[in-house]
Amino acid sequence: MIKVFFGDGSFELERMLERTTANCDAEVERLAGDSLTKNDLLNILQGTSLFTDKRLVVVRHLSDNTEVWEQLAETSGSDNDIILVETKLDKRSKVYKNLQRVADLQEFGAYSERDAYKIQQWLKEEAKLLGLELNNKIVQYLTEVVGLNQWQLAQALDKLSLLDEEITTSRIDEIVEPSIEQGVFGIFEAAVQGKTKHVVSSLDKLELVEEPQKLLGLFISQALNLAALVFSGGKTPADVAAELGVHPFVMSNLKKVSDQVSKPKMRKILGMFNQTDREIKTASVDAWLAVKNLLVRVSKL
């Protein structure tokens, strides 16, 4: 039997893969799809092991191997148990349509900011498995600090499970590392509030571990969200968040910042971000220096 686990929801996909392999009594083989030949695939589909009658073969990213992948368009199934692990599949392709007929396809989608409630419910259930009882306030705070990435949330729960005491927001601040998005918000907020020294010291730390282009993208997102509030005509953060499809916490965080920004100042900030983004993409400039200069200039408006 062929199973296909695919999608960008890597946490749930890997968990399903772990459970499936752990619960089987067959010999488990793990192969990289990009190194296989057509004969290798034929052996996997039809061959047997010399040492056991049962095989479970896990093949990752076979779709990257175009010639071998397309061979699946003609397959009628497998004598062995096979799990194909893919990030993305073309649902219009002949291979996909044939796999729909002969295989068990399971898609795992990543959660977005629109799924904040689902993530929080999942977080409660995960906490219970670790013997933790988290109230709604703690669950919400944890997602605000860590974000909605299931891998990072699971890691945070592992740390909290080691505590032999009540879990509070202060204890979360002490032992759980905030997401890069939360760190970027703190720097952006400091820049808008004119705290130049804080901006420079924080960026110096991030320079050691993050790419400037990625950070600029996150800062641009913050600037656009702030602009949406500033030019919203008095709408509530919740209403603006709903219109943009972002987590309400993002806008509620920015509300106090937006109260300090006039429309002319916001236009200047957007112009600065646009100029820096264009310079990094089209000119030979030091990307990190450009990002630092941008945030310092914003802090001095």
- In the prediction, which pLDDT does 230 show? 92
Banded model confidence at residue 6, pLDDT cuts 50, 70, 90: very high
The average confidence (pLDDT) of the chain is 89
What residues does each domain of the chain span?
2-107, 113-175, 180-299
- In the prediction, which pLDDT does 20 show? 93
Say which CATH superfamily domain 2-107 falls into: P-loop containing nucleotide triphosphate hydrolases (3.40.50.300)
The class (CATH top level) of 180-299 is: mainly alpha
For the domain 113-175, what is the CATH code? 1.10.8
Residue bearing tokens 């095989």: 55
Q: What is the pTM of this model?
A: 0.67
Taking 60 as the threshold, does the pLDDT of residue 52 lie above it? no
Q: What is the pLDDT averaged over residues 275-280? A: 92
- In the prediction, which pLDDT does 126 show? 93
Hey, CA dihedral for 136, 141, 144, 146, is it positive or negative?
A: negative
- In the prediction, which pLDDT does 255 show? 86
pLDDT digits (tens, 9 = 90+) for 107-139: 999 887 778 889 999 999 999 999 998 999 999
Q: What is the pLDDT averaged over residues 41-55? A: 70
Give the residue from 165, 254, 180, 172 showing the smallest Cα distance to 217.
Answer: 180
Q: Is 60 helix (H, G, I), strand (E, B) or coil?
A: strand
Q: Which amino acid is at 254?
A: L
Taking 80 as the threshold, does the pLDDT of residue 222 lie above it? yes
Q: What is the C-alpha to C-alpha distance for residues 268 and 299, in angstroms, rounded to an integer?
A: 12
More confident residue, 231 or 164: 231
- In the prediction, which pLDDT does 48 show? 59
